[in-house]
Every structure is written in C-alpha cells, then in structure tokens.
C-alpha cells in the first residue's frame, strides 16, 4: 500500500484539480481519495506530498524506441530520405543482430527509452518496433506499462526486412501468444503504412487483430508525398485505401493524419477512427501541421505522442503538449485553438482510452498510474492554474516520483527497479559500437 499524504494539488483530470487531500493505493488500484482517510498500519509506505502535485501518468500513444539510439542523426531530411538514410540502416543492424540470436540491442533501446519516458512522467506507451522477448523482459523489469505494436511490412522496404509470408505470420502469432496481457505488457498490430503492406497482408493483419482483440495503429497521411503516391497507385487516399481492405471496420488509430482531405475527415468520423497527434516529429521532418481543431470539431478522439527519438529527438510529453498547443494556435491564428486543458486531456485520458487502459485520470477504482511533481521550481511557481502551468511551465525535471500499477518505480528522482547508471552506460556503449556498422546512405528503396 502507498499513502500519499497532504497532497497540495491533486489532478483528477483536465477539468478537476483539488487541494489538500490524501490518496491511498492498494494493490494496483486507487483505493481512496479524500481528506479523512485513516493512515493504514505497518507495511504501508507514507509519502508526504504537502509541496507536491499528484497527477495521472502521461500516456505516450506512439513511439519507436529503437530510435533512442539515433538521437541527433540528421537534421534536414524529409520522410522518404530520412527512412533511407537514418532509420533503415540501423534497422538493418538490429535485424542482423537478431538473426544471429543477439537481442541485446533491442533490450537496451527498450530500456533507454523506458527510462527517458519514466523521467518525463510517462507511465504507459505504444512502441511500434522490432520486438523481442528481451525487449518485453526489460520493460517488465523496469515496471513500465508497455504495448509492443508489431510493425508489419511486406513491401517497399529493403528486402532484408521481410521474410516469407508464412514465417512473418507465424512470428506475429508467436509474439501475441507470448506477450499479450503478460504482466504489464500488451501487443497491438501496426502495419507501418498503407504503402508498405500488400492488401492481402493488411486483411490478414486486420483479421488477426480481431481474433485476438488487439488495438490497431498505422502511420497514415503523414506527408503530402505519400497521399500523392497512394492516389497514383490505387486511385484512393491512404485512409480510403485502408477502408477498402476492411481495416476501418475494427477500432483503428491513425497516426499523424497530417494531410487528411475533408472527405477523409468525414470517413474517419463515420468509422470512429481515432487520431494520434505528433507535433514535434511532424515539425522536425517538415511534414506539415495536422488540423487538430478540425478533427475535434468532427468529434474525433485525439491522443498525443512523441513519435520516435530520431524525429523529435526527445520523449518528453511536457514539450509535446506545449509545442502541440502552440502549433495549433499558430495554424489557426487563434489563441483559443487547442487550449492547455485540451492538450493535457490528449496526453492523459484520451491516449489511455485509445489504448484501452483504465487509466489516464485519477479516481477511486482506476489503475494506480500516477506522477508526483514539484510545484516550487522557479520556472513553475507561483501556482495559479495547475493544468495551464503543467502545460506551459512544466518540465520533466519536475517529475520526482512515479507510481505504475501501484508500485513505486521512481522515488525522489531515483529509478527503483534497475540500475539506471549501468543500463544507460551499457546501452550507449552498445549503440556507439553498432553505429560504426551503419552503411549510411547505401540503402535505397528504388
């Protein structure tokens, strides 16, 4: 049990903040919130929060943790060239290691990414990645709530990234059966983009998601280039194309959706497609600004995320909220566009709902996934409006402690479950070693 005593500000959700209350965690749920909760006896950890905020953990709806090993690589490339020159060569190295039975690389990038996210108050995430048992084992060891989204491709990418249809399908089934709902981990299905999968593969992925009750994600209309390619190759926009193979018949989250047409917006609303907003990644790759206010006006559910560290290059939800909100105000030339409350909701409650997690708000009975933050730093104080200040003033350094599934994973700035120093040191050394193998600029797709 954990008893958070005399909490100065408790954030239930984007609309409700209360002062001077206590919160009791029992097992992996929030047992009680109130001013008159008796302090339980022995075995209960009591934490004084009289100068702290307690808030829901952030939910990072989309990332690629292998890119944690590619921070600061390139700064000028659009998506196609960026894939060819930055990500594909490193994916080649990861796969080469994996084929030889060495999964240390995935274990370490999973660990580095998880620790970076914990430090910015992220308690759950969706990682579209090259998955391995070692990666899931690392998340489980750290104690973070992960969803491994199987990034599926069977065309467009270098040949070495694919194998026979039978082998790819067998591997996906094996990953689902080993890791879905095991400990804190889940599996989702994620065709990388509509143009990297054949229609037959997309149909199989959709049927598999439905058979196992998995969430589905896909990068859709991230750039104007891919919309033009889709129209040329299929006569349809990317979202229409996904619909034509039945992908939207089942709960679906469109990642990016920067270049939806009005017709696609309506299709998304009709099919209850949710949207994943990645403002900083779209900014770094010069992809465009997603029309989030229009999506909200259509009733679409929007969650927020960082995307991978090669196109951001931080997994920091404070920065993402701030940039995401400002960008919409600039796009619409309207200071009321995407308010702090709206973007905060996207980073917590909405993202949790899209992931299917009973978290993202602090209420009795909900999963005990929360962060304890300082309120007194010079960049934050004095406190007038907690939500606005978390969005406009908050920094990841304000996050002092993190509770996930009722367990204290970080306490007063120290990760409790693994040796951060060892993990980060070994992970960076391994990354540097493997970077030397990268044939930058050698791989091209056409």
Q: What is the contact surface with Zn ion in residues (CB under 5 A)?
A: 307
DSSP-based three-state secondary structure for 260: coil
Give CA–CA dist 301/328, Å, rounded.
Answer: 16
Which pair of tokens denotes residue 364? 């009795």
Give CA–CA dist 169/165, Å, rounded.
Answer: 6
If the CB atoms of residues 312 and 401 are measured against Zn ion, the closer one turns out to be 312
**Shortest distance, position 282 Cβ to Zn ion, whole Å:** 10
Residue nearest to Zn ion (CB): 307
The C-alpha angle 214, 56, 416, rounded to 5 degrees, equals 90
**Shortest distance, position 317 Cβ to Zn ion, whole Å:** 16
Torsion region of 13: left, alpha or beta (phi above 0 gives left; psi -120 to 50 gives alpha)? beta
- Which H or E run includes 387? helix 386-392
**Shortest distance, position 312 Cβ to Zn ion, whole Å:** 10
If the CB atoms of residues 307 and 316 are measured against Zn ion, the closer one turns out to be 307
**Shortest distance, position 222 Cβ to Zn ion, whole Å:** 8
**Shortest distance, position 305 Cβ to Zn ion, whole Å:** 8
Radius of gyration of the chain (CA): 21
Helix axes 133-142, 165-179, angle to 10 degrees: 20
If the CB atoms of residues 72 and 382 are measured against Zn ion, the closer one turns out to be 72
If the CB atoms of residues 142 and 254 are measured against Zn ion, the closer one turns out to be 254
If the CB atoms of residues 284 and 434 are measured against Zn ion, the closer one turns out to be 284
**Shortest distance, position 192 Cβ to Zn ion, whole Å:** 8
351 close to 304: Cβ distance less than 8 angstroms: yes
If the CB atoms of residues 285 and 399 are measured against Zn ion, the closer one turns out to be 285
For the chain, what's the residue count? 446
């Amino acid at each position: 049990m954990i008893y958070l005593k005399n909490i100065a500000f408790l954030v239930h959700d984007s609309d409700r903040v209360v002062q001077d209350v206590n919160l009791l965690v029992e097992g992996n749920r929030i047992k009680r919130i109130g001013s008159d909760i008796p302090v339980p006896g022995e075995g209960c950890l009591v934490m004084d929060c009289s100068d702290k905020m307690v808030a829901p953990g952030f939910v990072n709806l989309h990332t690629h943790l292998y890119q944690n090993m590619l921070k600061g690589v390139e700064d000028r490339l659009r998506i196609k060239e960026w894939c060819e020159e930055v990500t594909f060569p490193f994916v080649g190295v990861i796969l080469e290691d994996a084929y030889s039975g060495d999964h240390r690389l995935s274990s370490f990038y999973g660990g580095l990414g998880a620790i970076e996210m914990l430090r910015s108050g992220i308690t759950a995430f969706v990682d579209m990645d090259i998955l391995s048992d070692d990666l899931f084992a690392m998340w489980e060891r750290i104690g973070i709530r992960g969803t491994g989204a199987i990034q599926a491709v069977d065309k467009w990418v270098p040949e070495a990234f694919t194998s026979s249809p039978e082998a790819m399908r067998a591997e996906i089934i094996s990953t689902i059966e080993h890791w879905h709902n095991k400990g804190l981990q889940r599996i989702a299905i994620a065709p990388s983009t509509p143009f990297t999968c054949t229609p037959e593969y997309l149909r199989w992925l959709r049927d598999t998601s439905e058979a196992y009750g998995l969430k589905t994600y896909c990068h859709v209309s991230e750039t104007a280039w891919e919309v033009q390619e889709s129209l040329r190759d299929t006569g349809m926009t990317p979202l229409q194309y996904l619909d034509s193979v039945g992908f939207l018949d089942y709960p679906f989250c469109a990642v990016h959706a920067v270049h939806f047409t009005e017709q696609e917006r309506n299709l998304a609303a009709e099919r209850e497609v949710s949207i994943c907003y990645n403002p900083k990644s779209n900014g770094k790759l010069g992809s465009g600004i997603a029309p989030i206010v229009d999506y909200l006006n259509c009733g679409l559910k929007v969650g927020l995320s960082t995307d991978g560290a090669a196109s951001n290059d931080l997994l920091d939800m404070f920065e993402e909220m701030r940039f995401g909100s400002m960008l919409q105000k600039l796009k619409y030339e309207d200071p009321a566009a995407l308010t702090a409350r709206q973007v905060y909701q996207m980073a917590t409650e909405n993202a949790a709902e899209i992931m299917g997690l009973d978290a993202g708000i602090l209420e009795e009975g909900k999963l005990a996934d929360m962060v304890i933050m300082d309120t007194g730093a010079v960049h934050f104080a004095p406190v007038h409006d907690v939500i606005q200040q978390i969005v406009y003033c908050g920094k990841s350094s304000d996050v002092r402690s993190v509770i996930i599934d009722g367990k204290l994973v970080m306490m007063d700035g120290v990760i409790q479950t693994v040796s951060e120093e060892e993990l980060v040191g070994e992970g960076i050394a391994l990354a540097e070693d493997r970077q030397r193998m990268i044939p930058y600029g050698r791989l091209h797709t056409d």
